[in-house]
Chain A
């Protein structure tokens, strides 16, 4: 697929919704509701996803080859999704980008004596 030929940086910056979904799938396959729950946690991005937003975004992530269906399911209504190799690389690239921004923000706010 042509999409996989692009470097991970081509997808950056990710929207908060996409980042939360990729982050939820980073530690293994999950079904839709499990992704929603994970994304709603503060550590998962604190994003409140509705089913429409979730599956619309998942559909585009599958099209862009960042996410794939596992094909394993015990119920046709509860399908599982996982990150592809490209999905892992894109998530890593976004994490590095955010970490660099965070470092800069911390150093600048610290220099001004601002505390969170």
Chain B
């Protein structure tokens, strides 16, 4: 009578932990004995025998866990419904929060798009840059006002209403090359850590070709996003707590009713 390979047998014995603990405790010894018996009388090559054995273990372990979960759910339907509701509410809340965040972010581009179009339409007909851009000096790091920067066709700044540390910042690499093939680019620009700008840039043709960039600090939007995140989390947490309390209460009431019956 051939004995099973000790390493594979030990591996199989350890892999029995994949089964739900109740099933393993009840049948582990019998399963191992069955493997010894089957190995002694096997008709296939050892490799095929072990492959079939481990395949059966994996498939049946998954099946047993699914059945165990189903049985648990049948035994305690209130908790099952509560968990389902939790998952659904979490997904719905998450989707709503992401949508709101996107709307806020897109809304932050609104004045810049119109301003950039206005500036571009004036530059394209040959108006002087000094007459197009207002004579103001906006500190990008502190102000919430929209600012504009005009770069020539080589990407060098030639006029600006916004400054960062007394100089005109350059947009991220790739913006100009993107604008040579696309009419407009909306992006979040981070000229330095902690400072985020909602930027809109257009490619301008005409006698002075170049790129007009209009931006605005996202500080307000970030504050709104933080408030939204906080509100969403508090609402979600309150709903989960209510559901948990409700499920506990109903479960106890059901248990009392079952005992009374």
**Is A52 touching B32 in the complex (CB atoms < 8 A)?**
no
Interface of B is mostly: helix
Contact residues in B for A78 (Cβ distance below 8 Å): 30, 33
Closest-CB distance, B74 to chain A (whole angstroms): 12
Closest-CB distance, B197 to chain A (whole angstroms): 60
Within B86-110, which residues are at the interface with A (CB < 8 Å)? Answer: none
Nearest opposing residue in chain B for A54, CB measure: B34
Whether B72 sits at the interface, judged by CB under 8 Å, is no
Nearest opposing residue in chain A for B27, CB measure: A55
Contact residues in A for B60 (Cβ distance below 8 Å): 50, 52-53, 56
**Is B29 touching A52 in the complex (CB atoms < 8 A)?**
no
Q: Given that A77-B29, A77-B30, A79-B30 are contacting pairs, would A56 and B23 also be in contact in the complex, using a CB cutoff of 8 Å?
A: yes
From A36, A48, A75, B34 is in contact (CB under 8 Å) with A36
Whether A32 sits at the interface, judged by CB under 8 Å, is yes
Nearest opposing residue in chain A for B64, CB measure: A56
Contact residues in B for A31 (Cβ distance below 8 Å): 30
From A32, A50, A59, A60, B33 is in contact (CB under 8 Å) with A32
Distance in angstroms between the alpha carbons of A52 and B60 in the assembled complex: 6
**Is A77 touching B52 in the complex (CB atoms < 8 A)?**
no
Nearest opposing residue in chain B for A63, CB measure: B71
Contact residues in B for A53 (Cβ distance below 8 Å): 56, 59-60, 63
Contact residues in A for B30 (Cβ distance below 8 Å): 31-32, 51, 55, 77-79
Contact residues in A for B27 (Cβ distance below 8 Å): 55, 58-59
Within A42-97, which residues are at the interface with B (CB < 8 Å)? Answer: 48-56, 58-60, 75-79
**Is B19 touching A33 in the complex (CB atoms < 8 A)?**
no
**Is A77 touching B33 in the complex (CB atoms < 8 A)?**
yes
Whether B38 sits at the interface, judged by CB under 8 Å, is yes
Q: Which of A49, A51, A55, A56 has the most CB of B within 10 A?
A: A51
Within B131-156, which residues are at the interface with A (CB < 8 Å)? Answer: none
Whether B31 sits at the interface, judged by CB under 8 Å, is yes
Closest-CB distance, A2 to chain B (whole angstroms): 13
From B31, B38, B67, A52 is in contact (CB under 8 Å) with B31
Closest-CB distance, A61 to chain B (whole angstroms): 13
Contact residues in A for B23 (Cβ distance below 8 Å): 55-56, 59
Chain A, residues 18-37, CB within 8 Å of chain B (1/0): the string is: 00000000000001110011
Q: List 29 A-B contacts (CB under 8 A).
A: A31-B30, A32-B31, A32-B34, A36-B34, A37-B41, A48-B52, A50-B55, A50-B57, A51-B30, A51-B31, A51-B38, A51-B53, A52-B31, A52-B56, A52-B57, A52-B59, A53-B56, A53-B60, A54-B34, A55-B26, A55-B34, A56-B19, A56-B60, A56-B63, A56-B67, A59-B26, A60-B67, A76-B29, A77-B32
Interface residues in chain B, defined as those with a beta carbon under 8 Å from any beta carbon in chain A:
19, 23, 26-27, 29-35, 37-38, 41, 52-53, 55-57, 59-61, 63-64, 67
Extra contacts, 8 of them, besides A37-B41, A53-B59 (Cβ < 8 A), are A50-B52, A51-B34, A51-B57, A55-B31, A56-B19, A56-B23, A75-B33, A77-B32
Interface residues in chain A, defined as those with a beta carbon under 8 Å from any beta carbon in chain B:
31-33, 36-37, 48-56, 58-60, 75-79
